[in-house]
Structures are given as C-alpha cells and as structure tokens.
Amino acid sequence: MEMTKEEMFELGFKFHGHRCPAMPLGMRSGAAAMNALGVERSKDKELFLIVETGDDHAAGCFVDGLMTITGCTYGKSNVEKTYYGKMAFTLIDTAKQKAVRAHIKPEFFGNMLKSPFVEQRKIGVPPQNIPSEITEPLINKILSLPTEDFLVISPVFDYHFDKKKGVFDTALCEECGERTFVHKLQEVNGKMLCKPCTGKISGQ
C-alpha cells in the first residue's frame, strides 16, 4: 500500500529524529528532481544520489529528506557525499543514464540561515528542544511554497554511470579472524588482512 504525502513526511521526521524545516526541504527537493527525471522511489539501485553537503553544518538535515524520498541510502550504497558545503545534489537514473542537478536558490538558502530556528541552533539549543511555535510555522511554510520559490533544477542531461556488481564472497582475516568481503582484504607479509589489521601491521 502506497503512503500518502502526509504519511511520507511523517516517516521522514521519524527517520530524521526531530522536526525541522531542512528535512522536508530535502524531501520536496528530491521529489521535484524525481518528477523531472520521471522516476519512482528507488527500491534497490535504480537511482543514485550525489549530495554536495558537508558534515559540519546545518544542511545535513536536508540530506535525510533526500534519502527518505528518493530511497537512496548508505545501506544500498547508492548515495555519496562530495563535502562541497552546498545545498545541492545530482540525482541519476542508472537505467536510462540520465540525471538532473538541483540546488537551493542562494537567496532562499541565505534567508533560511537567518530564521529563528537557526538562531536557536547557533546558541546551542538542540533541534528537538526548540519550541514548536518556532519550528512548525517554518515547516508549514516549506510544505506550502511553490517549488520554483526555493529550488533550481537543471534540464535532464546524459550521465554515464557504471553499476558496480555486488560482492558475495568472503574470507577470514588472518590477523583478527573476522569474516571480510574478499575485495577488501589485502596481502601483507603473506597474510590476507582486513583494512584495520593492515593499518596495525604497517604501523608497527
């Protein structure tokens, strides 16, 4: 049974862990990119997501929204981050070898960082502790804005994407004894070692 739009947003908030405006902004942006490509949510690796955010700023919430709506997840290995520090992303249709790139409009992005929600975050208030009278109007605004007010989406363009084959073979690391996928084992002094053990050996 398919979820309603409201149920999908609630799923996003539960997955994300708190209510904030950036997560639904990511969901709406991802949905717009999917519509531009004419694709459905990724069940396996039908889509690939390249996000340009970093790991040290408030835009991280945006990525959880993108992952929720597109179905691109780190577990399926169909999302990667470039750490460019931008609220931008490329969504790739791996079957048709097509993609779009989208980014939050600069003025909208700048105004977001002046919001009362962000002011609370700047002084160290955890997002889940910010009063709902601050958070909810901002969320409602994000949910009701026309897409063109906050997002720029490129035309669809060709994108060469090489699908990687899944690895199913494993072997035991000859140092720690833990089972490891074979393509991540390395030979050191005649032993097949996992990466952590390789580091230990080379550091001795």
- φ, ψ at 4 (rounded to 5°): -75, 170
110 and 72 within one domain: yes
Residue 165: its pLDDT value, please? 82
pLDDT digits (tens, 9 = 90+) for 8-35: 899 999 999 999 999 999 999 999 999 9
Q: What is the pTM of this model?
A: 0.88
Give 203's pLDDT tier (boundaries 50, 70, 90).
Answer: low
Q: Are residues 60 and 27 in contact, defined by beta-carbon separation less than 8 angstroms?
A: no
* CATH code of the domain covering residue 188: 3.30.60.20
38 and 132 within one domain: yes
Averaging pLDDT over each range in 140-144, 163-167, 196-200, which range is the top one? 140-144
Is 163 a domain residue? no
Domain region containing 185: 170-202
Give the H/E segment covering residue 146.
Answer: none
pLDDT digits (tens, 9 = 90+) for 45-76: 999 999 999 887 667 899 999 999 999 999 99
Is 88 a domain residue? yes
**Which is higher by pLDDT, 6 or 117?**
117
122 and 25 within one domain: yes
Q: CA-CA distance, 111 to 134, in Å (whole number)? A: 15
- φ, ψ at 93 (rounded to 5°): -90, 105
Is 165 a domain residue? no
Which amino acid is present at 60?
G
Q: What is the mean pLDDT of residues 78-104?
A: 97
Residue 198: its pLDDT value, please? 92
136 and 36 within one domain: yes
pLDDT digits (tens, 9 = 90+) for 38-52: 999 999 999 999 999
57 and 109 within one domain: yes
Within 10 Å of residue 8's Cβ, how many Cβ atoms? 16
195 and 114 within one domain: no
Is 164 a domain residue? no
**CB neighbour class for 113 (10 Å; exposed up to 12, middle 13-18, buried from 19):** middle
- pLDDT beyond 90 at 193: yes
At 15 the three-state DSSP class reads helix
Are β-strands 47-51 and 79-81 bridged in parallel, bridged antiparallel, or unpaired? parallel
- pLDDT beyond 70 at 129: yes
133 and 194 within one domain: no
Q: CA-CA distance, 127 to 1, in Å (whole number)? A: 32
Structural domains in the chain (count): 2
* CATH code of the domain covering residue 125: 3.30.1330.20
